[in-house]
Structure 1
Amino acid sequence: MEQILLHTERLLLKSLTPSIIHHVFHTKSKDEIIAYLGTNEQGYLHYKEMHEMGMETHRISMFLFLLIDKQSNTPIGECGFHTWNKTHRRAEVFYNIYSENMKQKGYMKEALHTVLEFGFSQLNLHRIQALIDDNNTPSKKLLLHFGFVKEGTLREDYVVNNTSEDSDCYSLLQHEWK
């Protein structure tokens, strides 16, 4: 799949797929990759591990967008889908703004609207879910803004600092988006 560019008022969303990530690691230097992804050493190592260890199977993949601030032309975060199951038409949405000084400015609300629309219309998703910590008030507000419904809590679902923590599961179905 070739690179897709989507626009919002303040952001350019540049797609990153497994094939694009592999291409970047085969054709660019480390410094060029860090600049392209707008990341730091830790982010570079994360993407390098994805490149080397694999990001998809015959049924599960990912599709994400780099969020690029149009004014500065620099990446400020990412938003997209992981555990994208093409057979069952579902995926888990994730989002991240890289620096604290870019948060609380409405960028993620702007990006997520476009990413959700893309997921339902272009990736043909039927279900989009999000797993968040119950104490993550900004994420909870963001998901509720777009009509996500809390389904329940997954007990001891993920590990943070060697401690198993719960995840609250929220979902949005295609017919609810329309």
Structure 2
Amino acid sequence: MHFQLLETENLLLRKIAPEVYHFLFNSQSDEEIKSFLGLETDEQFAKEKDKFSKGMATYNRSFVNFQIIDKKTSLIIGACGFHTWYFEHNRAEIGYNLNSDDFKGKGIMSEAIKKVIQYGFEEMKLHRIEALISPNNEPSLRLVQKLGFVKEGHLRQHYFKNNVMEDSLFLPC
């Protein structure tokens, strides 16, 4: 299977879309899937398999994600992309994570998000990219604001996380 790659100075961003998941889960072994997706535990694998089995895209909504790969080591160090892409409205919600705290504070996510935002506007023809972030997640808030996102709203009890309803700040770009 051919995978689209975006490149930055220090990173490769490998595109993962619904068709990749279909290919992986219908033709590869569990170990091959874990290796390709950079999943380290059986729990992480079970979560991805569950998401796939429940359907990751619908007639009006999908996702485009990019694995963040360190050019020097070829190690998958995180992910960044659009997990809620509404075709009809030309908007998507951005999400991102690093696999280890060891990678934080090094500018990796800034470098990756810039390229993914560019891809969203130019290739996906998005009109709006939205970030929903906990008010307590100051590093993430600083990151997106540095990249041009502006606070537009406060959604009360918006996400259920760790058995608690959490608020989200709404920041579009």
TM-score range, shorter chain: over 0.9
Structure 2 Cα separation of the partners of residues 9 and 122 of structure 1 = 20
- Per-residue deviation, residues 90-130 of structure 1 (Å, max 9, x unmatched): 00000000111111111000000000000000000001000
How many residue pairs align between the two structures?
Answer: 172
Structure 2 Cα separation of the partners of residues 105 and 96 of structure 1 = 13
State, as a whole percentage, how many aligned pairs show the same letter: 43
Structure 1 Cα separation of the partners of residues 10 and 28 of structure 2 = 28
Question: Please, which moves more after superposition, 30-39 or 124-133?
Answer: 30-39
Structure 2 Cα separation of the partners of residues 72 and 148 of structure 1 = 31
Q: Which residue of 1 aligns with 2:160?
A: 159
Q: Which residue of 2 aligns with 1:68?
A: 69
Structure 1 Cα separation of the partners of residues 7 and 59 of structure 2 = 30
Q: Which residue of 2 aligns with 1:84?
A: 85
Q: Which residue of 2 aligns with 1:3?
A: 3
* Secondary structure of 2:106 counterpart: coil
Structure 1 segments unaligned to the other structure (5+ residues): 173-178
* Secondary structure of 1:12 counterpart: strand
Structure 2 segments unaligned to the other structure (5+ residues): none
Q: Which residue of 2 aligns with 1:134?
A: 135
RMSD, aligned α-carbons? 1.2
Structure 1 Cα separation of the partners of residues 52 and 34 of structure 2 = 14
TM-score by length of 2: 0.96
Q: Which residue of 2 aligns with 1:115?
A: 116
Q: Which residue of 2 aligns with 1:15?
A: 15
Q: CA deviation at 1:42?
A: 2.5
Structure 2 Cα separation of the partners of residues 15 and 7 of structure 1 = 11
Q: Which residue of 2 aligns with 1:37?
A: 37
Structure 2 Cα separation of the partners of residues 93 and 104 of structure 1 = 19
User: Structure 1 counterpart of 2:38, which letter?
Assistant: G
Q: Which residue of 2 aligns with 1:176?
A: none
Structure 2 Cα separation of the partners of residues 58 and 74 of structure 1 = 34
Structure 2 Cα separation of the partners of residues 139 and 46 of structure 1 = 24
Q: CA deviation at 1:29?
A: 1.0
User: Structure 1 counterpart of 2:125, which letter?
Assistant: N
Structure 1 Cα separation of the partners of residues 135 and 37 of structure 2 = 30
TM-score by length of 1: 0.93
Structure 1 Cα separation of the partners of residues 6 and 43 of structure 2 = 27
Structure 2 Cα separation of the partners of residues 129 and 154 of structure 1 = 13
